[in-house]
Amino acid sequence: MNLKFLPFLLALSLIACCIEVDISVPSFPEMARYFNVPEGIIQLTIAYNFLGFCISALIYGPLSEAFGRRKVMVIGNALLTIGAIGCVYAESVTFLLASRFVQGLGAATSAVVAFAIVADVYKGHAAVRIIGLMNSIITVIMAIAPVAGAFINKAIGFRGNYACVAIISIISWILIFTFLPETKRERDRFSLKKVLLDYKKLLSSGEFMSTSAAPSLTFCAYISFIAAASFLYMNTFGLSIVSYALHQGVIVGAFAVVSLLSGKIIEKFNSRNCVIGSTAFFMLGSILLLLVSLIAPNSPYLTTASFTVFAIGCAIMYPIIFSQSMEVFSEIKGTSSSAIMSMRTLLCSGFVGLMGYLYDGTALTVSFIVLLANILALGFIIKILRSSLKK
């Protein structure tokens, strides 16, 4: 396979696991009615998915170091497809949650191994550029996902959204099986003892933990907002499902555009200045969201505008610090990617669970959890800027 097409194949492999939340959240109110369960139970479809993701993410990286990236991608994405199909045919909320868990077990494959493949093939600024390009492709699709999900839900119901994810999963698996090259040339013998020692090395490194936690916590802020957004916009703000999806599309679309331009922005202003500026942006967005929830708690437009500011800041910061985290221990990139993704989904499961527990139908609860995640991210970014971020 020509390597110039590799980023697009990797981005395609990530689409199914990235849109499964955005395309399904417009259906959450309908799903709560269909299964006759509280709103918090439906939000658990995200938490269960992330729990499966967290567990499996720990092993895909080490397995890809020992057996190759390609084999793990083929097997893991098959598991993702099985879980996605299960969601389509779920007749009880228990079966749906189980299918979402299986889907999460498979979704971790591309999230872990795709970025290890990028680290195998690209270095330095090239890696940052490729990650930014992949983010922009993924987020353009994510911007379309909630709008598409709203129309699909309106036309054929929530099963249509899950069917869309299943179809993308099937297509992605076929292309991975047919075209994905092996990029891990030197294999490590699989040893549980070595895996545990590698994780000990990662978890005891202050630089690795800081560069992993900062983007993970901003992602927690984003996903916590998404988990409650459909209920907030449709039940509290009184918007239609299509109007809600358009608001969601604006937020994700802003992230997509800035991600697409992130490489040029970083080249012009350098990494350190971009991290400082983008951090100011996402903290400003968090504070504005809190103020809006206090001053104009029923304004969807101000809520969307505030969170869009947050999204712009994240789009610039994310590829810089994420790329750095993958280079802290460059000899174990697969295990590093596993640790990062497992940490991220564990944190997300906790924050989404907290949102499901605390959400009371008001924007104030949502803004508080978003701000909490970003304050924690800010602490790690300050540590990075003081100790290890290079221009």
More confident residue, 386 or 141: 386
Residue 72 pLDDT? 94
Q: Mean per-residue pLDDT for 268-285?
A: 92
Q: Mean per-residue pLDDT for 109-138?
A: 80
Residue 340: HSE in the Cβ half-sphere, 13 Å Cα cutoff: 33
Residue 222 pLDDT? 87
How far apart are alpha carbons 27 and 46 in whole angstroms? 13
Residue 391 pLDDT? 45
Reported as a pLDDT band with limits 50, 70 and 90, residue 2 is: low
DSSP codes, 228-289: HHHHIIIIIS---HHHHHHHHHHHHHHHHHHHHHHHHHHHHH-HHHHHHHHHHHHHHHHHHH
Q: Which residues touch 156 (CB under 8 Å, ≥6 apart)?
A: none
- 36-69 residue pLDDT tens: 998 788 888 988 888 898 889 888 988 988 888 9
Q: What is the DSSP letter of 182?
A: P
> Given a cut of 60, is residue 1 above it in pLDDT?
no
Residue 174 pLDDT? 94
How far apart are alpha carbons 26 and 352 in whole angstroms? 16
Reported as a pLDDT band with limits 50, 70 and 90, residue 389 is: very low
Q: Which of 334, 338, 342 is nearest to 64 (CA)?
A: 334
pTM, 2 dp: 0.75
> Given a cut of 70, is residue 20 above it in pLDDT?
yes
Q: Quickly count: other Cβ atoms within 10 Å of residue 89's Cβ.
A: 13
Residue 331 pLDDT? 81
> Given a cut of 60, is residue 213 above it in pLDDT?
yes
Contact 208, 325 (CB under 8 A): yes
More confident residue, 90 or 145: 90
> Given a cut of 60, is residue 327 above it in pLDDT?
yes
> Given a cut of 60, is residue 223 above it in pLDDT?
yes
Q: Which residues touch 343 (CB under 8 Å, ≥6 apart)?
A: 212, 213, 216
Reported as a pLDDT band with limits 50, 70 and 90, residue 148 is: confident
The secondary element (H helix, E strand) that includes residue 217 is helix 206-231
Q: Which of 109, 87, 94, 101 is nearest to 23 (CA)?
A: 87
More confident residue, 138 or 175: 175
DSSP codes, 36-101: T--HHHHHHHHHHHHHHHHHHHHHHHHHHHHH-HHHHHHHHHHHHHHHHHHHHT--SHHHHHHHHH
Q: Mean per-residue pLDDT for 85-101?
A: 95
Reported as a pLDDT band with limits 50, 70 and 90, residue 237 is: very high
Lowest-pLDDT range of 12-26, 128-142, 187-201, 250-264: 128-142
Q: Mean per-residue pLDDT for 95-108?
A: 94
Angle among Cα 18, 22, 23 to the nearest 5 degrees reads 100
Structure tokens at 358: 């605390």
Q: Which of 339, 361, 57 is nearest to 209 (CA)?
A: 339
Contact 143, 256 (CB under 8 A): yes
Q: Mean per-residue pLDDT for 270-299?
A: 94
> Given a cut of 90, is residue 76 above it in pLDDT?
yes
Torsion of CA 193, 197, 199, 201, to 10 degrees: -170
Reported as a pLDDT band with limits 50, 70 and 90, residue 388 is: low
Q: Mean per-residue pLDDT for 90-109?
A: 94
Q: For domain 3-179+205-387, say whether CATH 1.20.1250.20 is its number.
A: yes
**Tokens 């194949």 found at:** 9
> Quick one: angle between helices 192-203 and 333-358, nearest 10?
60
Residue 275 pLDDT? 92
> Given a cut of 70, is residue 118 above it in pLDDT?
yes
> Given a cut of 70, is residue 215 above it in pLDDT?
yes
Q: Mean per-residue pLDDT for 307-334?
A: 87
Q: Which of 79, 375, 86 is nearest to 221 (CA)?
A: 375
With a pLDDT cut of 70, the percent of the chain lying above it is 97
| Average of per-residue pLDDT values in the chain | 87
Lowest-pLDDT range of 212-221, 267-276, 377-386: 267-276
